[in-house]
Structure 1
Amino acid sequence: MKVPTELPLRILTHNIRYATSSPFKGELPWENRVHPLLSELRYNTRSQEAFICLQEVLHNQLDDILTGLNSKEHTSNANHTWDYIGVGRDDGHQAGEYSPIFYQPSIWQLRHWETVWLSETPTMPSKSWDAASIRIVTVGVFTHRASRQTVLAMNTHLDDQGSRSRFEAANIILGKVEEYRAGAAFGCMISAVFLAGDFNSQDEQEAYTVLTAPESPLADAARLVPPSQHYGNYMTWTGFGHEGQDPSRIDYILLESTADKVLSRGRQPWKVLGYAVLPNRFDDGVFNSDHRAVVIDVLLRD
């Protein structure tokens, strides 16, 4: 008889703030922020099998992060180097912001990936409805080499201006989950699904309520673990201290869940062990971003 297995896994999501040439008051240039950000990513994934999901990443920032993660100074095992999936949203190549998913090819076999534009023309760079910017979701199918468990991983950054565009984008994302789940290519092998990102939506607003509705297969990881097992802050957007807006919770990791959900497979693929919102500033006073990272530790059940 096959013995069920549980795969420990860490998922980290962080909007890193794009490398602007016109910083806000309190915001330092990218060259001052990249080192504390890399320290955060390295420390929180050093001894973990992990996915890193980032938002607002310009191509030069992508290069800096990939180089930093794979630096010989910080990578003791050359076989555990990092790679990524994703494209710039403006042209499907290198222009505009990426929403990349970083992974370690020695641990995860990449089976398939795509970028979906969150618009009425999802196969090409575009925006629709009331969106102020082009928006995307990065989708990857990864198989864990040791356990052979397969994850559908998704990373997105929804529009900061358009309420309808966030609503429509949330429904496009749910449609993609269903497409992969029901598809002949990967449906029978996917063990579980996660969606990470900056939704630009608080928990009473359109994107969050659509993505976590009773009929959705997804649930907020923060709600799947007792508050006593939360670490750090609650708010995920802080600004740089001079925006005149209150901090808010708009960054999430959602997991496929049967808890209070309609999920025909009748099983709970994830067990959440812990949930954290990390600091984005320390004694040196440097904000590594205007967002805080969200991190979860989970067990993926076979």
Structure 2
Amino acid sequence: MRSTPEFPFRVLTHNIRYATSSPFKGEVPWDQRKQVLLNELEYHTRHVSDTFICLQEVLHKQLEDIRLGLNSKATSVAPDWAYIGVGRDDGLQAGEYSPIFYRPSVWNLLDWETVWLSKTPSKPSKSWDAASIRIVTIGVFIHRLNGTTVLAMNTHLDDQGSQSRLEAARIIRAKIQGYRNGKFGAMIGGAFLAGDLNSQEDQEAYSDLTGSSDFEDTFKLIDASRRYGNHNTFTGFGYEKEPPSRIDYVLLASGGNQKWRVDGYSVMANRFDDGVFNSDHCAVIADLRLLG
């Protein structure tokens, strides 16, 4: 595998809140908040071309809005941004996506898949106590300039089913092992999992993923004095009964051909002077480095 001694890149993950027709108190419709969300994505990727954008709760209309918005300033026929992912309800366009956006000029997509977090992971389905169908989107990307290969994973675990979150974590860990032992195993320099786990540190999914030593939390891999922004990643829209919490993560898989270093970690604001929440979650950004 060709690689540079140190390879920096960024992961941004954000649950953008699906475009509901019945907004919560304090929530404005998608058409009123989408530009704020697009501005966030553009700002944090403008000069960091290697960024992966991992989003959750994305309906197809929102996906198209984001795809067109990110590509609105493209100067060539080829789009600046592309994505992998499918709607969870039918494996096509129905239901929420957990897409991974990337720049094809920077990353070459080698392979990707959607895995349903259920007893039948190859088809749309839910199991155990899950209230909704849940998925993980997985892509294998090779950097066009230096040859570093990254396994990227993006997910949104169930908000109600504790057992389903635990079983989903186990499926994700098994997929990591499957890729390490598969045809791309010798190439993969590092792997990450981004997303909304609906699990705090003392709860099942987070505990299983990090307690197994398969994953480490970027939040904990950088000194507290160097973190930027908020602690909590879920805020609601100001009127929910649930308190704010940290349930959105960028986790790094141990092993691989290169070692991880976290250069920066931040939880960005989701509301400014205009009072509009761009989502009920905040974006989490991790600046990472793979060391040769």
Fold equivalence (TM over 0.5): yes
Distance 1:205 1:6, change over 3 A: same
Instruction: Quote the residue 1:227 is aligned against.
Output: 224
Distance 1:231 1:80, change over 3 A: farther
Partner residue of 1:208 out of 198, 201, 206 = 206
In structure 1, the gaps of 5 or more residues are 258-262
Partner residue of 2:261 out of 252, 268, 271 = 271
User: Are 1:283 and 2:283 an aligned pair?
Assistant: no
Which aligned pairs between 1:119-198 and structure 2 lie closer than 5 A? 119-183=118-182, 185-198=183-196
In structure 2, the gaps of 5 or more residues are none
Greater mean alpha carbon deviation, residues 13-22 or residues 79-88: 79-88
Contact 2:116/2:123 (<8 A) preserved: yes
Partner SS, residue 140 of structure 1? strand
Partner SS, residue 208 of structure 1? helix
Work out the CA distance in 2 between the residues paired with 1:269 and 1:103: 22
TM-score by length of 1: 0.93
User: Are 1:25 and 2:25 an aligned pair?
Assistant: yes
Percent same amino acid at aligned positions? Answer: 64
Q: CA RMSD in A?
A: 1.5
Could you tell me how far 1:299 is from its partner in structure 2? Answer: 1.1
Letter in 2 for 1:11: V
User: Are 1:253 and 2:254 an aligned pair?
Assistant: no
Work out the CA distance in 1 between the residues paired with 2:170 and 2:3: 37
Instruction: Quote the residue 1:70 is aligned against.
Output: 71
Work out the CA distance in 1 between the residues paired with 2:285 and 2:115: 24
Distance 1:245 1:118, change over 3 A: same
Contact 1:174/1:216 (<8 A) preserved: no
Work out the CA distance in 2 between the residues paired with 1:83 and 1:238: 29
Letter in 1 for 2:200: Q
| TM-superposition CA deviations, 1:216-261 (whole Å, max 9, x none) | 321000111101110000000000000122100000000123xxxx
Partner SS, residue 160 of structure 1? coil
| Number of corresponding residues | 290
Work out the CA distance in 1 between the residues paired with 2:226 and 2:88: 36
Contact 1:80/1:107 (<8 A) preserved: no
Distance 1:271 1:80, change over 3 A: farther
Work out the CA distance in 2 between the residues paired with 1:76 and 1:45: 16
Letter in 1 for 2:35: H
Work out the CA distance in 2 between the residues paired with 1:130 and 1:190: 34
Could you tell me how far 1:200 is from its partner in structure 2? Answer: 0.2
TM-score by length of 2: 0.96
Contact 2:267/2:284 (<8 A) preserved: yes
Contact 1:8/1:299 (<8 A) preserved: yes
Partner SS, residue 212 of structure 1? helix
Letter in 1 for 2:174: G
| TM-superposition CA deviations, 1:31-59 (whole Å, max 9, x none) | 01100000000000010010000000000
